[in-house]
Amino acid sequence: MLIVSSLAYAAQVQIAISTDHTDMVLATNKANQLMFMYYGTKVGCPQQFEQFQSYRRSDYSTEPLAYPARGGRFFNQPALAVKYSDGDANTELTYSSHETKNISSDVKQTTVLLSDTKTSLEVQLVYTAYLKEDVIMAHAVITNKGKKDITLENYASSAINLKAGSYLLTHYYGSWAREMQVEHELLTHGIKTIENKMGVRTTHTENPSFMLSLDNSSLDENHGEVIAGALAWSGNYKLQFQMDETDRLSVICGINDYASAYTLKKGATFSTPEMIWTFTTSGAGQASRNLHDWARRHYIYSKGHLAYTLLNSWEGAYFDFNTKTLTDMIDDAAAMGLEMFVLDDGWFGNEYPRNSSRAGLGDWQTNTKKIPEGIAYLADYAHKKGIKFGIWIEPEMVNPSSNLAHKHPEWIVKSSGREITTTRNQWLLDLTRPEVQDFVFSVFDETMKKGEGKIDYIKWDCNRHVESFGSTWLTEQSRFFVDYTLGLYSVMKRIREKYPNTIIQSCSSGGGRVDFGALEYFDEVWTSDNTEALSRVFIQYGTNMIYPAATTGSHVSAVPNHQTNNITPLKFRFDLASTGRLGMELQPANMTKEERTFAAKAIQSYKQLRHLVQDGDLYRLVSPYDGNHYALMYVSKDKKEAMVAAFCIHYQGRTKTPKIRLHGLDPQMKYSIEEINNEKPSFWGNGKTFSGAWLIGQGINPQLVKLYDSGIWHLKAQE
Ligand code: DGJ
């Protein structure tokens, strides 16, 4: 048993994990435990923590452990809970060693080795610091060096500990077609948990990401201390916020321990997913920009190229098409200036044709009645028209009405002796099984082969979650949830080795797989199945707080909208979609000539501005939750160019024009302002030049007063 005195640390070892503007400090206490001392602005030499005193009771071990383990004198929420072969459920980790190495000129990695006082359990805490972006990525590597198997009952990725006057938690709740709604709450004593237990499609109801505003009762875009966190994991997750009796906040994030006890065989290692942290004193906006820069430069799959505009066939044709329908859509897409056509669901299955969601999943042969010429013909047709070609697959799923379901009933996720439930008329394939992993890989591979080298983009869908979890393959059923996600990643690794340049979208009934775990392999996500522009204001506002706009597909669809029945003007739809990765999802044949002309112009404008949306700095100017308007802007890194977008989301009595103060500009520069996508400019300053200082201080007051009025402005610095 460790006897801990917290009166003074008398720290022998202090470890600073530093970025350009932040420090995270760990230090050992007298009992050689590794404590989480600090996360915030730079504090200089970490040795200053040597004699630190917290004045906590010395006989209570409530000091913040860097990786709190269940047992010993520790009684708060643990990051690690282990059961040993003798039934002991305590773990007491002490510091063994640490090292820091340079991964590159602006990335440093610190690894701290901890070991249990009684057993041969070792834990490495790995912190990767991205200096310029002020991001620290953290995960744990747990190794059973003993002679007997042990059970990991909880194995979080990372824990931090904070002390502030108040903690405002901002998180992202929702549902299908209403993802990433922003909710704020001041944390009180006790535990707040954000989690998902659905196995796959885990990000509709919550997202494994959040922001914490310290000493601030509202989310401030531009000022104040904010910590943002995101877990890179596409399975069940759990984010826990525990405020204890000393008002300290412990934040523990990782894989959800729900039904997931994991046996670690002797000699085996388990590596947890990465938890991404950022800290800033410049408000939520800077926290987002840190995450966006880090993601775009270092982490997500699509690095360094601009995303293409596209026409997706789903809402325009659903399951009802033939070759002519598709080639006509390709013609129309090319004529409007779109750069890619994506053939969605419905192209496969012969014996069990995919004419609705009721049949065909699993039978990935081209439907010869609908497309007798084959997929390569369509891809070739698109290429000849000068645009790229993409296609939809849902390889993790099977309809009961399919040859695959008859051939491989053992591949289906099921708990022995229990009913297999369908969702959207489909079952889930058991990705913990190596043959299923091979099959899922082959669905991708064979589809690519069907295109004879001309498929540029794959939309990977996933339309159900796990029910009655279980596997006929696994001997240890509680590995199911974790091994499913690891199985998915293993398939994605193989796919990326063979197809490094194929653009792949992670779609999961819209935004059901929107997380950094997926974005390590996928280029972008389908943000939501709700394509209606007013709903999208809120969905995209929330999603882009964490995930960069370049990765969030945003499509213009028909009215009345198929999800909400709402009717919004084409301009409003285009302007809003232009703040993400622009696409269209409708039947162009149903558009009027004027609508097509407008669309072509708006697509052309987007192409001229998309480097700002996709590579620039996002500034949220007016929150849609504040009532009447939504406004945001993207600024180029050199501050010489910007795009501002604003939307009226409530009728303003024709009198209340918004005052939109801009951010991120250079006050010393002069900027010309040009409104795009509008015959009749809504801002009196259109075509004029203003100083950055004026735009920041006074701002613009466009006449956006009627419901669904919107505007986009292009700002250019004048030499
Ligand atoms: C759900 C997706 O989110 C939609 O975009 C579409 O691809 C359908 N599935 C197809 O079944």
617: which strand partners?
635
Short-list 374, 548, 341, CA closest to 447: 374
No. of H helices and E strands in the chain?
Answer: 12, 35
Short-list 290, 158, 279, 157, CA closest to 214: 279
| 483 tagged catalytic | no
Atom of ligand 1 nearest to the CA of 510: 3
Q: Residue 528 C-alpha to ligand 1 middle, in angstroms?
A: 10
Neighbouring C-alpha atoms within 13 Å toward the C-beta of 596: 15
Q: Tell me which residues have their CB closer than 6 angstroms to ligand 1.
A: 314, 344-345, 392, 461, 463, 507, 509-510, 526, 529
For 487, list phi and psi in degrees, rounded to 5: -65, -45
Identity of the amino acid at 577: A
pLDDT at 303: 75
Chain-centroid distance, C-alpha 423 = 24
For 550, list phi and psi in degrees, rounded to 5: -60, -20
Q: Residue 509 C-alpha to ligand 1 middle, in angstroms?
A: 6
Contact 400, 425 (CB under 8 A): yes
Q: Residue 355 C-alpha to ligand 1 middle, in angstroms?
A: 14
Q: Residue 345 C-alpha to ligand 1 middle, in angstroms?
A: 7
Per-residue pLDDT tens for 445-463?
999 999 999 999 999 999 9
Per-residue pLDDT tens for 225-284?
999 999 999 999 999 999 998 899 999 999 999 999 999 999 999 999 999 999 999 999
For 603, list phi and psi in degrees, rounded to 5: -65, -40
Structure tokens at 520: 């390590």
Burial 151-174 (b: 16+ CB within 10 A, else e): bbbbbbbbbbbbebeebbbbbbbb
Burial class (CB in 10 A: 0-12, 13-18, 19+), 414: buried
Dist. CA 84–CA 67, nearest whole Å: 18
| 461 tagged catalytic | yes
Contact 651, 713 (CB under 8 A): no
Residues 6+ apart with CB under 8 A from 398: 361, 362, 404, 405, 411, 412, 426, 427, 428, 429
Structure tokens at 316: 């325009």
Direct distance between the N- and C-terminal alpha carbons of the chain, in angstroms, rounded to an integer: 70
pLDDT at 9: 58
Atom of ligand 1 nearest to the CA of 585: 5
Only one residue has tokens 């590579």, namely 615
Per-residue pLDDT tens for 269-327?
999 999 999 999 999 999 999 999 999 999 999 877 899 999 999 999 999 999 999 99
pLDDT at 187: 98
Q: At 104, which helix (H) or strand (E)? A: strand 93-104
The Cα-based distances of 493 to 300, 441, 486, 490 in angstroms read 13, 10, 10, 5
- Given a cut of 60, is residue 1 above it in pLDDT? no
pLDDT at 467: 96
- Given a cut of 50, is residue 6 above it in pLDDT? no
Dist. CA 494–CA 492, nearest whole Å: 5
Q: Kindly state the percentage of the chain with pLDDT values over 90.
A: 92
Question: Whole-model pTM?
Answer: 0.97
Atom of ligand 1 nearest to the CA of 526: 3
Dist. CA 81–CA 94, nearest whole Å: 15
3-state helix vs strand vs coil in the chain, percent to 5: 20, 35, 45
Across the range 100-122, mean pLDDT stands at 98
Structure tokens at 29: 């206490």
State the catalytic residue, choosing from 456, 529, 575, 617.
Answer: 529
Average pLDDT, rounded, for the chain: 96
Dist. CA 585–CA 683, nearest whole Å: 30
Chain-centroid distance, C-alpha 711 = 28
Contact 382, 341 (CB under 8 A): yes
pLDDT band at 3 (very low <50, low <70, confident <90, very high): very low
> What is the residue-wise DSSP string for 625-644?
GGSSEEEEEEE-TTSSEEEE
Dist. CA 408–CA 405, nearest whole Å: 5
